[in-house]
Amino acid sequence: MTSSAKLDKGRSWEESVEALAGMLASQDPLKSALKIGLGFILEKLHLDGGLILAPEWNNGNPLIFLGSGHVRHWENQIRSSGSFLSSLLHRASELTGGEIISDSAGKVIIFPLISADGNQGLLLTNLHDFSREERDFLEAATFLFGQRISTYYNQLRMVQYRKGLDLISQIFAGLNIMTAGEELETKLVRKLREIFNCQAASIALNSENPESLLIKKSLADGEEWIYQVSIKPGEGLLGQCMTDRSSLVINQPELESRFDPDIDAIPGVEASSLLFVPLTASDQVTGVVELINHKEGGFTRGDQELLEKLAESIAHLLRNIQMTEQLKVMNAHLEASRWELVRSRNTLRSLFDNLPDSFYIIDRKYRLVAVNMARAKRANCEPRSIINHLCYEALYQRKEPCPNCLVAETFYNHNITNRTERVWESGENPLEWDITAYPILEEDGEVPQVIIFERDVTEKNLMGAILIQSEKMAAVGQLAAGIAHEINNPLTVVLANAQLLERSLPKESDDAEAVDLISRAGTRALQVVRNLLNFARKEQSEVKPTDINQSLQTALDMLRHEFMQRSVEYTFEPAANLPMIMASQENLSGVWVNILINAMDATGDREGKVKIVTQQSGSEIRIIISDNGHGIEAERLKRIFDPFYTTKEVGKGTGLGLSICHRVIKQHGGNILVDSKVGVGTTFTIILPAY
- Type of residue found at 358: S
Rounded Cα distance between 44 and 297, Å, is: 39
Rounded Cα distance between 156 and 120, Å, is: 14
Rounded Cα distance between 220 and 476, Å, is: 82
pLDDT band at 424 (very low <50, low <70, confident <90, very high): low
Mean per-residue pLDDT for 189-194?
Answer: 82
pLDDT band at 11 (very low <50, low <70, confident <90, very high): confident
Among the ranges given (252-261, 424-433, 541-550, 634-643), the one the predictor scored with the smallest mean pLDDT: 424-433
pLDDT band at 284 (very low <50, low <70, confident <90, very high): confident
**Cα dist from 681 to 612, 624, 630, whole Å:** 14, 13, 6
The per-residue pLDDT for 653 is 59
Among the ranges given (218-227, 369-378, 473-482, 597-606), the one the predictor scored with the smallest mean pLDDT: 473-482
The per-residue pLDDT for 304 is 86
The per-residue pLDDT for 110 is 82
Mean per-residue pLDDT for 223-240?
Answer: 78
pLDDT band at 59 (very low <50, low <70, confident <90, very high): very low
Q: Is 90 exceeded by the pLDDT of residue 75?
A: no
Give the CA count within 13 Å in the CB-facing half-sphere of 267: 8
Mean per-residue pLDDT for 299-326?
Answer: 81
pLDDT band at 215 (very low <50, low <70, confident <90, very high): confident
The tens digit of pLDDT for each residue in 540-595 reads 457 888 999 999 998 888 788 888 888 899 999 999 989 999 888 878 888 998 89
For 99-127, b/e burial (b = at least 16 CB within 10 A) is: eeeeeeeeebbbbbbbbeeebbbbbbbbe
Give the torsion through C-alpha atoms of 313, 314, 315, 316, to 10 deg: 50
pTM comes to: 0.38
The per-residue pLDDT for 318 is 79
3-state secondary structure of 617: strand
Q: Is 50 exceeded by the pLDDT of residue 4?
A: no
Q: What is the Cα 454 distance to its own chain's centre?
A: 46
Rounded Cα distance between 188 and 182, Å, is: 10
Q: Is 50 exceeded by the pLDDT of residue 534?
A: no
The per-residue pLDDT for 639 is 75
Among the ranges given (40-54, 373-387, 429-443, 644-658), the one the predictor scored with the smallest mean pLDDT: 644-658
Among the ranges given (33-42, 223-232, 562-571), the one the predictor scored with the smallest mean pLDDT: 223-232
Rounded Cα distance between 83 and 89, Å, is: 10
The per-residue pLDDT for 684 is 94
For 356-394, b/e burial (b = at least 16 CB within 10 A) is: eebbbbbbeebbbbebbbbbbebbeeebeebeebbbbeb
The per-residue pLDDT for 535 is 42
Mean per-residue pLDDT for 605-611?
Answer: 88
Q: State how beta strands 118-126 and 431-440 pair.
A: unpaired
Share of the chain above pLDDT 90, in %: 14
Rounded Cα distance between 132 and 141, Å, is: 14
The tens digit of pLDDT for each residue in 446-468 reads 899 999 998 888 777 655 543 44
Q: How many residues does the chain have?
A: 691
Among the ranges given (64-73, 198-207, 309-318), the one the predictor scored with the smallest mean pLDDT: 64-73
The per-residue pLDDT for 643 is 59
The per-residue pLDDT for 94 is 63
Delineate the domains of the chain, giving CATH numbers in brackets.
Answer: 3-163 (3.30.450.40), 175-327 (3.30.450.40), 355-452 (3.30.450.20), 475-689 (3.30.565.10)
Looking at the chain, the number of H-run helices and the number of E-run strands are: 20, 23
Contact 573/612 with Cβ under 8 angstroms? yes
Share of the chain above pLDDT 70, in %: 71
pLDDT band at 470 (very low <50, low <70, confident <90, very high): very low
Among the ranges given (211-225, 292-306, 548-562), the one the predictor scored with the smallest mean pLDDT: 211-225
Mean per-residue pLDDT for 273-286?
Answer: 88
Rounded Cα distance between 667 and 663, Å, is: 6
Q: Indicate the average pLDDT of the chain.
A: 77
For 241-278, b/e burial (b = at least 16 CB within 10 A) is: bbeeeebbbbbebeebebbeeebbbbeebebbbbbbbb
The tens digit of pLDDT for each residue in 499-533 reads 566 556 665 666 656 656 665 565 555 555 554 44
The per-residue pLDDT for 516 is 60
**Cα dist from 191 to 161, 169, 541, 594, whole Å:** 18, 11, 79, 67
Mean per-residue pLDDT for 287-312?
Answer: 84
pLDDT band at 213 (very low <50, low <70, confident <90, very high): low
- Give 86-142 as a DSSP string: HHHHHHHTT--S-EEEEETTEEEEEEEEEETTEEEEEEEEE-----HHHHHHHHHHH
The per-residue pLDDT for 466 is 38
pLDDT band at 388 (very low <50, low <70, confident <90, very high): very high
Sign of the C-alpha dihedral computed for residues 517, 520, 524 and 525 taken in this order: positive
Mean per-residue pLDDT for 68-85?
Answer: 60
pLDDT band at 628 (very low <50, low <70, confident <90, very high): very high
Q: Is 300 exposed, middle or buried (0-12, 13-18, 19+ CB in 10 A)?
A: buried
